[in-house]
Structure 1
Amino acid sequence: MSVPPVSVGGMGSDQLEMPGMPRRLFPATPSKLATFSDCPRRYRHAYLDRPTPPKGPAWAHNSVGSAVHAALRSWWELPLRERTAGAARQLLYGVWSTAGFRDADQAQRWRSRAAGWLTDYVGGLDPAEEPVGTERQVAATTERLALSGRIDRIDQRGDELVVVDYKTGRRPSTDDEARGSAALAAYVLGVRRTLRRPCSRVELHHLPSGTVAAFDHTDRSLANHVRRAEDTAEDIERATEALRAGEDADAAFPAVPGRQCGWCDFRASCAPGRAAGPQPETWIFLAPEPADDEVAAPVPR
């Protein structure tokens, strides 16, 4: 299933391959592939259009997730004796952003809420159990892809490594989500190739609920994920070649309108996206607070 990486140093992305040379691998991240699968138009805006179209507003739920992830990464970087719940809270306060929140009061309430999650979460960790990696970049190759990605945390459990992904969304993660996550499957392949260690288990740690969703990959489940990823990459290459050959950009990369257009970064540059529905408030994807009377919102992927 894997082949050695192909060296393309100094070659332009549109340069022809030499006869007899291996086919150039498609450079991919889980986010890149997911973007095209969700909406080819959004992929074009994000990865091909230059200059990149201006992005929309910041979202409060992303501010929460970014701060929690950054605090946990920094917590593991502290000396062992300093890895306390209080330190985790202070780290969160240091990176907290009010971007996307309705007002300062809402941002303050959510900062306190996120600090509570961290207090509970690190209270269940053994500070002395050093992760194999935090925010670790890994990579792997398949017959068609050069995959890469960054993992929140890699743990050692016995003789195997475990991929850990932090979640802060409004609902707990499920085992089916762990099984179906293309990103987690790519991380397993990356750990195996980069660290040369056995790795099959993936876990989604949902801090708000304190729950863990997990799946143990097999060679078959990983092969299924690889096949789907390679199919997506082939579709991307086909669309890109059509664009280079002169096809209309909107035809080569069509929009897929739907409720997801409400939180698309490139909504302002996409007429079908704007027509799909109104722009939601930037804090709507936060879980309802006890005093909130806001209508429950759909959950972005």
Structure 2
Amino acid sequence: MAQGTGQATEQDATRRAEQGTFAGMPVPLYPASPSRLMAWLDCPRRYRMQYLDRPRPEARAQRAHTSVGITTHNVLRDFWDLPELQRTPDGVGELVRTSWIDLGFRDAEQSAAWRQRVREAVVEYLRGMDRTRQPLGLERSVALRTGSITVTGRVDRLDDRDGELVVVDYKTGRQVPTEDDTRTSLPLALYAAGVARTFRRPCVRVELHHVPTRTVVAHEHTTESLDRKIDEAESIASDLRRVDADFGERGVESSSFPPRPSALCTWCDFRAHCPEGQQMGPEKSDWAGLDSDSYAQSALHATGGN
């Protein structure tokens, strides 16, 4: 999901949905996004700080692996805007250079090394694709409306493969996704359902593309499995409607947002404001999320950009 302005719009819509209604009026649809739903499942305390607290607690500075991920996504988006003759390794290199985000790295040397690794990984990822076949959508916003919720999300890439719509989500982290990750992913299922509603065409295939290793894992949903995921989203949103209202009445004194301590606490952007999270171990460094091994695999197969 987009951050910044998009998040503010979603928060405003949530406040409007929480306002009281006159007797006989329908209950407003709950506005959500896949990231908002997943934040609640990860940790109610973090959800409150990220989406409800005003003023919002200050989050930690951006980590290096986030800079790598954002840069990679931006390059894979902008690549398709290049003229076909410029869709080359040199073209990718220039996009990486101009898109590079120099935040969170240990020093300038580490940043430069990762910039080169991202270039090599994206080149190798794109090498196996038909670079003349334009995606149907890039960072395309889609929406889904049910009887109780509205869900908006943004798809990294939407392909039209001989009439079949396919949702593609890029991954750049250290963990290589599995088929089970694709099958069980609530965001991917909601994207597929949103694409089907937006384009009025069936969309059941979802894919996770791990750019560093060029791993692609796919799952073919059915109408029934997508309906189950929509039911899951509605159930989570029902909980959120309740706790949002409780927060509106009690603020930070609400007991609806207990912390959920886990290993994720050492990575949490709001750890400084959560004593329970601080007890889960030392905070990770800004560059701890970088996985040299996965990008090194790409570098071994790179051809020097020719």
**TM-score, with length taken from structure 2:** 0.87
Map residues 213-292 of structure 1 onto 2, 5 A cutoff: 213-246=217-250, 249=253, 251-289=255-293
Q: Please state whether the residue corresponding to 1:153 is helix, strand or coil.
A: strand
| 2:147 corresponding residue in structure 1 | 143
Q: Please state whether the residue corresponding to 2:51 is helix, strand or coil.
A: helix
Q: For 1:80 and 1:195, how far apart are their aligned partners in 2?
A: 27
| 1:61 corresponding residue in structure 2 | 65
Q: For 1:86 and 1:219, how far apart are their aligned partners in 2?
A: 43
Q: For 1:281 and 1:247, how far apart are their aligned partners in 2?
A: 32
Cα distance, 1:275 vs. partner?
A: 2.0
User: Aligned Cα RMSD in Å?
Assistant: 2.0
Q: For 1:157 and 1:289, how far apart are their aligned partners in 2?
A: 32
| 1:173 corresponding residue in structure 2 | 177
Q: Among all aligned residue pairs of Structure 1 and Structure 2, give the percentage whose two residues are the same amino acid.
A: 44
Q: Please state whether the residue corresponding to 2:18 is helix, strand or coil.
A: coil
1:14 to 13, 18, 21: 18
| 2:119 corresponding residue in structure 1 | 115
Aligned residues: 283
- CA contact 2:79–2:92 (8 Å) conserved in 1: yes
Q: Does 1:93 align with 2:123?
A: no
- CA contact 1:267–1:273 (8 Å) conserved in 2: yes
| 2:106 corresponding residue in structure 1 | 102
Structure 1: runs of 5 or more not aligned: 1-7, 293-301
Map residues 75-86 of structure 1 onto 2, 5 A cutoff: 75-86=79-90
- CA contact 1:203–1:213 (8 Å) conserved in 2: yes
Q: For 2:247 and 2:175, how far apart are their aligned partners in 1?
A: 40
Q: Please state whether the residue corresponding to 2:159 is helix, strand or coil.
A: strand
Q: Deviations over 1:158-194 (max 9, x none)?
A: 2221001111111321111111111110100110111
Residue 113 to residue 247, structure 1, CA distance change in 2 (3 Å): closer
**TM-score, with length taken from structure 1:** 0.89
Equivalent residue letter for 1:49: D
- CA contact 2:182–2:207 (8 Å) conserved in 1: yes
1:48 to 49, 52, 60: 52
Equivalent residue letter for 1:274: Q
Q: Please state whether the residue corresponding to 1:24 is helix, strand or coil.
A: coil
Moved over 4 A (4+): none
Q: Please state whether the residue corresponding to 2:255 is helix, strand or coil.
A: helix
Q: Please state whether the residue corresponding to 1:246 is helix, strand or coil.
A: helix
Q: For 2:22 and 2:254, how far apart are their aligned partners in 1?
A: 31
Cα distance, 1:32 vs. partner?
A: 0.3
Indicate the structure with greater helix content.
2
- CA contact 1:159–1:198 (8 Å) conserved in 2: no
| 2:212 corresponding residue in structure 1 | 208
- CA contact 2:30–2:149 (8 Å) conserved in 1: yes
Q: For 2:293 and 2:133, how far apart are their aligned partners in 1?
A: 34
Structure 2: runs of 5 or more not aligned: 1-11, 297-306
Q: Does 1:194 align with 2:198?
A: yes
